[in-house]
Amino acid sequence: MSDTEQKIIIAVDGFSSCGKSTFAKAIARRLGYIFIDTGAMYRAVTLYALEHGAIRSGIVDEEAVVRLLDQIAITFRFNPDRGASDIYVNGDLAEGKIRTIEVSNCVSRVSAIPEVRSKLVAMQQEMGRRKGVVMDGRDIGTVVFPHAEMKLFMTADPHVRALRRYDELRAKGDDVSLEQIEENVRSRDKADMSRAVSPLRQADDAIVLDNSHMTVDEQMEWFMEQLRRLRAAKQ
Ligand code: DC
């Protein structure tokens, strides 16, 4: 893409474990854009709540989570080894700690709290103010940037998604079962779509990508074609 092309906002929404982050990261690298993983931000709040007693035995005390919000400063720092940004909570690296099954099991409930959403949405809007960002999440094209120039909605078969996350966690040495993961994927789909505030839904003007049987390279090819069409339609 030439440097003279105007920078845009690319919103990538969709179901959990669809490879949104991998795809969004690849797009950002290709275009020289900033990649922002908003799921990591909801996970970071969940981690903080777990570590500070606002979630006990899997029960989320919503009022306690809201009381903690002012103490949580979330920042991203580029990590050249990973070629992506790491998330920090109050200056502490949280990247490795936010993707455990414990956090995954509670994050849907934490992300349904209106005060949590309004704080994180405001941060995300600020991060995209200068455009040139690829942001992945659930409500980017509907709530955070309803006027994003390009909106993608990703989906994949729940079993394929569970297998992907299972492989990821096992590779890290987590002792999880495929059944446990598939149950988590399905229950998060349900929770994400049925919550009262900003439920997961496809924006009317989003382009759908079902990547159940696509490689990252194939997805990239598909994306570049969509981008070419968008640029051509604007001329
Ligand atoms: O993308 P992920 O699986 O890391 O997201 C973690 C959780 O955060 C997921 O259950 C839904 C929630 N989330 C959200 O509600 N809104 C976003 N923009 C991003 C994630």
Strands (DSSP E) contained in the chain are 9-14, 34-37, 55-56, 59-60, 74-79, 84-89, 92-93, 133-137, 150-155, 207-210
Q: Give the model confidence (pLDDT) of 154-182 as tens digits.
A: 999 999 999 998 998 899 898 889 999 99
What is the value of pTM for the model shown?
0.90
- Token pair for 3: 């440097």
Residue 235: what pLDDT?
A: 77
Residue 4: what pLDDT?
A: 58
Residue 77: what pLDDT?
A: 92
Taking the centre of ligand 1 as the mean of its atom positions, its distance from the CA of residue 38, in whole angstroms, is: 7
Span 226-234, mean pLDDT? 92
Residue 84: what pLDDT?
A: 83
Residue 70: what pLDDT?
A: 96
Q: Give the model confidence (pLDDT) of 21-51 as tens digits.
A: 999 999 999 999 999 999 999 999 999 999 9
CB 160 within 8 A of CB 212: yes
Taking the centre of ligand 1 as the mean of its atom positions, its distance from the CA of residue 42, in whole angstroms, is: 6
- Token pair for 42: 């909801």
Residue nearest ligand 1's atom 18 by CA: 137
d(CA 27, CA 167) in angstroms, rounded, equals: 23
Domains of the chain: 6-33+132-235 (3.40.50.300), 36-131 (3.40.50.300)
Q: How confident is the model at residue 221 (pLDDT cuts 50, 70, 90)?
A: very high
* Secondary structure letter of residue 206 according to DSSP: P
Q: Give the model confidence (pLDDT) of 109-124 as tens digits.
A: 999 999 999 999 999 9
Residues 6+ apart with CB under 8 A from 16: 39, 161, 185, 188, 189, 192
Confirm or reject: Cβ of 138 under 6 Å from ligand 1: yes
* Choice between 131 and 195, residue whose per-residue pLDDT is larger: 131
Give the position, in ligand 1's atom list, of the atom nearest the Cα of 120: 18
147, containing H or E segment: none
Counting ligand 1 atoms within 8 A of each CB, the residue from 12, 13, 16 with the most, and so the one to mutate, is 16
Span 184-202, mean pLDDT? 90
